Every structure is written in structure tokens, then in C-alpha cells.
Amino acid sequence: MADLILPAPAKLNLFLHITGRRDDGYHLLQTLFQFVDQADELTFTTSRAAGIDFTCSTQALAGTDNLVVRAANLLRERYAPNAGANIHLEKRLPHGGGLGGGSSDAATTLLALRQLWQLDISDRQLQQLGLQLGADVPVFLGGQAAFAEGVGEQLRPTRPPTAWYLIVHPGIAVATADIFRHPDLPRQHQPLKLDDWNWENTRNDCELLVRRLYPEVANALDWLVEYAPARLTGTGACIFGRFSSQQKAHAALQQMPDRWTGFVAQGINESPVCQLLRQASTVNLTNQD
């Protein structure tokens, strides 16, 4: 029987400004992360045999380079060399689209295995491990919508409006590394006083370049903006429109051209993962009484 079944929610970058570049080539960002109520699902079962046995509903992601396996092995190497687990990933989010699904899967894995393997590791230590896997992992570990600076690791929780979103995948993949290394990417956005952010005084600094390099993203944005304020998330290729109600978002989805895929989701300011883990630990403690 499974020990734990947990979601791994998607994120949106409600805005994304590039304010500079570090000596190692990584870019300094100011961004606002909000989660949405659509998620992958992970099932964890501890095993007596040391090591990770991993399965995934999407065959292309079933290898050992999956961020789930990398997260689990990083935790084992550092803190629990003899521990073992069977993990299944039910992949529901589009991958490689700026929704952070892989980072979220990694964060859920670190949180779940810390609890199941009863490891005495602080949140801070877990954050440091997470950052080695990807710049988006820390916000998923923290579990709260947040402004992020640095490369995404300096987090300040905040509570942006929980709008409804129509998230559209224009059916092509954008390579994050290609965007960040492109000479035409703007890199000198004046730092914003984060509390002063609103939709109008922010943007996604990758958007103009991604529009130019990937015309289908431009087509999708030009279509969506007829229904709602719309923007790229991360480096794309997904875009999102911001709606005042679920009905309006669904009405736009009905009109979406067939060649794209889309779904409606609500913004949430707390990831469900931490709360579910607390509940699971209470149940376990009660069962041990």
C-alpha cells in the first residue's frame, strides 16, 4: 500500500524581470510566483531495498534523469544512503512549458522522502539541496506564493489576487537555455520596489524575444489578449490569460483553436503539499499511539 500520495502543483510567473547577470552566466531575476490548482501526482512507497525504483505515466520522462529520481538520489547520497523508495509520477502538467512541473515534482519528492525516511534536515538544508536541482525548486519547497530575487532563491511570501487563468500551450517547446544565452534578451530592467507591482507596471522580459523566435507563441498571445490580459510564463512556451471568473475563462477556452491545448486553473497562494504532509504526519503519530 502507498505510504503517501501527494500533488505537485504548477506555477505561473505573474511577471518576470531580468535585472542583471552573474559572473557564472546565470541571470538575476525579479519575479512573482503563484501556484495554480492543477498538479502532477506522486505516489511514494518506502522499500527495504536501498535505492529508488521509479515509474512515470509519460514514457519519455521515465528515465533516471527525471528530476524526481535526481532529487531522491541527492537526498539519499547526502543523508540516507541505505534508504529506499518506489515512486510513481502521474504526469498531468505539460512539461517544458514554463509551468515548473519538473521543479515541483522534485520539491514534492524532497518533502515526502524527508518525512517518510524520518530525516532530521531543516527547511534551510532542504532549500539548499533543492536549488542544486533548479532555480524554481525553492519556491515549491517553501509552499507560499512569493516574490523571488537572485536566481529565484531569495523568496518573500506574498498574496497576489487569486484570479482564474486560461493556460494555453501552443504546441511547441522553448529551450530555456537558448533564450537566456540569446544576445537580444533584455537584461537591464531597473529593479522594481516589489510591493509596488501591478499588471501594468510589469511584464515578462523574455516575451518579445520568444515571440520573435517562436511565431506560434506570438499567434497564441495575439489570440488570448482579445479575451484577457495575457502573458508568457517563465521562458514559455505556455502563456496565460487572467480572468475575473471561471466561467469567463472557460468561455474563452471554448473558442480556442484546436491546434493548441489549454486548461482553466485558479491561482492559489499556498501549495497543498505542506498541509497534506502535516495531515499525514498527524495520522501516523495517531496510529502509533
Ligand X SMILES: C[C@@](CO)(OP(=O)(O)O)[C@H](O)COP(=O)(O)OP(=O)(O)OC[C@H]1O[C@@H](n2ccc(N)nc2=O)[C@H](O)[C@@H]1O
Task: Report the catalytic residues.
Answer: 11, 136
Find, among 92, 179, 90, 79, the residue nearest to 126 by Cα: 79
Residue 29 contact partner, candidates ligand ADP, ligand X, none, CB within 5 to 8 A by sort of partner = ligand X
Tell which positions 99-138 bind ligand X, by CB under 6 A: 100, 103, 134-136
Asked whether the beta carbons of 169 and 38 are under 8 A apart, the reply is no
> 262 labelled as ligand-binding?
no
- Binding-site member from 32, 39, 83, 101 for ligand ADP (CB under 6 A): 101
Contacts with ligand ADP by CB under 6 A: the residue count is: 17
- Binding-site member from 9, 102, 138, 143 for ligand ADP (CB under 6 A): 102
Residue 61 contact partner, candidates ligand X, ligand ADP, none, CB within 5 to 8 A by sort of partner = ligand ADP
Q: If binding is defined by CB under 6 A, does position 100 make contact with ligand ADP?
A: yes
Q: If binding is defined by CB under 6 A, does position 176 make contact with ligand X?
A: yes
Tell which positions 65-104 bind ligand X, by CB under 6 A: 98, 100, 103
Alpha-helix runs per DSSP H in the chain: 67-79, 101-116, 123-133, 137-142, 176-181, 207-213, 215-224, 246-255, 272-288
Residue 178 beta carbon to ligand ADP: minimum distance, rounded to whole angstroms: 12
Handedness of CA 171, 35, 218, 185 (dihedral sign): negative
- Indicate the Cα dihedral angle 261, 266, 267, 272, nearest 10°: -100
- β 239-243/230-232 pair status: antiparallel
Nearer Cβ to ligand X, position 105 or 136? Answer: 136
Binding-site residues: 94-104
